[in-house]
Structure 1
């Protein structure tokens, strides 16, 4: 097998009669073309509405909030409340939030713009290393491009092995698990299933931590005066999820500790908080919007906020943190608020993603 490349994994050298023509050797003349086998890499992100109008927002929110991984109440109890009450009002408020951050030049959400650019850079890195035997794309759990459409297209293009990479550094049932669920649903209906691997939580990966620490250092060096406290704000989950075995809360706390150790800071220099509370249940805390106000009341005049759970800036960071949480801090007596952007398509972040992918492709490439 020495000398085999990713372009002919799974086939003997004589299976295809001429490079690139897709014609099986010894096949009858009317046999349909067969694509050369490839390895697929899919970057998966949360999702985005197609537009900010009421009906686009309603479709997106209905798909998102109907996911049992996100809201696990029984349908008889949840769906009437969701469809008749929540979705009659929430699309207006959510649409307004999205319009405040919308990429008007491309008429799309920042999350879509950033994920596409991350994918382009990852594809360049993988093609430089492995050539055309690898196919790279991205999908969204909710909205477009859908997980089903991307995986189906990859399988049809000859991807016999697919690495599915949820872009969530910490594992959580409403993020990582639901992304994987959707990939598995696609496999359930395919006649010819590709082999698939899923990438686990990567918050401990040294290259990810280096990129995160670099982003903090750069923000502090650019500030006229250094912030007194750094708040690591993670998307929240109901406390019940923690008690039922979801490791997300623990992984967030560990991410903060590892970041602090990377930076060489004292323990009280970084604090952990959680945002985006929804519904009547008790959520893990403290709540970011309340915590920053308390920091201001304690006399802190300048704080910074970073979002280690988000790989790309989105409505939860650009609108909720940089507007709502900022306003809470300033209204309580704070004077300066520094938002540190997500890692997005930074070169060191892309290098971290490539390192993780390279490890997970072991034995395939």
Structure 2
């Protein structure tokens, strides 16, 4: 039996490309109530983020949280919104990271770099489809989290593989492992600290490395996140030549009744001020881009707490964002993961 001839008008399938998809946490489309509620609903219904029983959590979520929190969080977003582009700075920086990284990788003509969000838009599924349409037969999924947590890295990978389940012709996939101890990453953090401190006319007595927290129960269940944060902090101390008193590790952004990883950032800031420490700086090594948790929770709220309790000088050290040092980290990791594919 002869093979049926392919119709002349059949579209030719693009092929031979390798995709790199940078994925960050996500962002609401706007600061209004509906946009915030839609974003928070997607985020807070993720079983990787809230591991409580649905029977317990959903009445609280849909009965209280999604009715009260969107307005409050929306106001916080308004205070740090990128009004020029009418978007969050997380979206601004993630797009810029993707664009600059694409330029850095131009020596590989077959590599296509794009970006997406775990929650909100652009979705992981839409970007995987777009890369596949451009001929990407192999795709590196890069969750933009230096320290691994099930509620961050794993949920990005989950969503990517959910999208693959709907594809008849799947691209080959690699997922980027944590890079919390990568020398290029540690160097970039140390550089950002010394660069910021050089602009101040005072020297901080303490520098806090504030990581996003997770419930203590997640760590006890086997999540390596706490250990990764501790190693990042230790390597950063060694790089800067500081001791544990000068550079301290704390955890922020807790909510709900559960105990989270300690020490808590807000309580530590308050305690330091009450103990007579007058000058501190805070950096967020676990965030690759400045966002609500850094620009509002640390640069505004933590500063207010410090000053209210007797502190005098407070500095927030920006995230790596799209700085040359920050892009060096992304490029180093991506080139390592592309080996054998390009």
Which shows bigger deviation, 150-159 or 275-284?
150-159
The separation in 2 between residues aligned to 1:36 and 1:251, in whole angstroms, is 38
Larger CA Rg, structure 1 vs 2: 1
Query: Does the 8 Å contact 1:42/1:139 carry over to 2?
Result: yes
2:108 — aligned with what?
A: 130
State whether structure 2 residue 84 is matched by structure 1 residue 105. yes
CA contact (8 A) 2:14 2:135 kept: yes
RMSD (CA atoms): 1.1
Whole-angstrom CA distance in 2 between matches of 1:221 and 1:106: 30
Partner deviation per Cα, 1:105-142 (whole Å, 9 max, x = no partner): 11100100010111110010112x202x1111000000
Q: After the TM superposition, which residues 311-322 of structure 1 pair with which residues of structure 2 at under 5 Å, given as runs? A: 311-322=288-299
Q: Which residues of 2 match residues 72-83 of structure 1 at below 5 A?
A: 72-83=51-62
Q: Distance in 2 between matches of 1:83 and 1:266?
A: 46
CA drift of 1:203 comes to: 1.1
In 1, Cα distance between equivalents of 2:108 and 2:6 = 29
d(CA) in 1 for partners of 2:9, 2:22? 36
Q: CA deviation at 1:28?
A: 5.5
Q: How far off its partner does 1:348 sit? A: 1.3
Residue matched to 2:180: 203
Moved over 4 A (4+): none
Match of 2:40 in 1: 61
Q: TM-score, normalised by structure 2?
A: 0.97
Task: From 227, 230, 234, give the equivalent of 2:204.
Answer: 227
- What's the CA shift string for 1:223-250, capped at 9, x where partnerless? 1011010000000000001100000011
Matches within 5 A, 1:107-256: 107-127=86-106, 129-131=107-109, 133-256=110-233
* 1:40-99 Cα distance to aligned partner (Å, 9 max, x none): 000000000000000100000000000000001122221121011111100011000000
Question: Helix, strand or coil: the match of 1:267?
Answer: coil
Structure 1 counterpart SS, 2:198:
helix
3-state SS, counterpart of residue 268 of structure 1: coil
The 2-side partners of 1:281 and 1:36 are apart by 49
CA contact (8 A) 1:235 1:276 kept: yes
Identify the residue that residue 308 of structure 2 maps to in structure 1. Answer: 331
Q: How many residues align?
A: 338
Q: Say whether the 8 Å CA contact 1:36–1:158 is kept in structure 2.
A: yes
Q: Distance in 2 between the 1:347 and 1:353 partners? A: 10
Q: Tell me the CA shift for residue 27 of structure 1.
A: 5.9
Distance in 2 of aligned mates of 1:32 and 1:326: 58
1:133-165 deviations in Å (ceiling 9; x for gaps): 111100000000001110111112211100000
C-alpha displacement of 1:29: 2.7
Deviations 1:258-307 (A, max 9, x none): 10111111231100110001110111111101101111111110000000
Any residues of structure 2 matched to 1:256-295 within 5 Å, and which?
A: 256-295=233-272
1:49 corresponds, among 28, 42, 50, to 28
What is the TM-score with the length of structure 1 in the denominator? 0.91
Gaps of 5+ in 1: 1-25
Q: Is the alpha carbon distance of 1:28 and 1:87 closer, same or farther for their aligned partners in structure 2, counting shifts above 3 Å?
A: closer
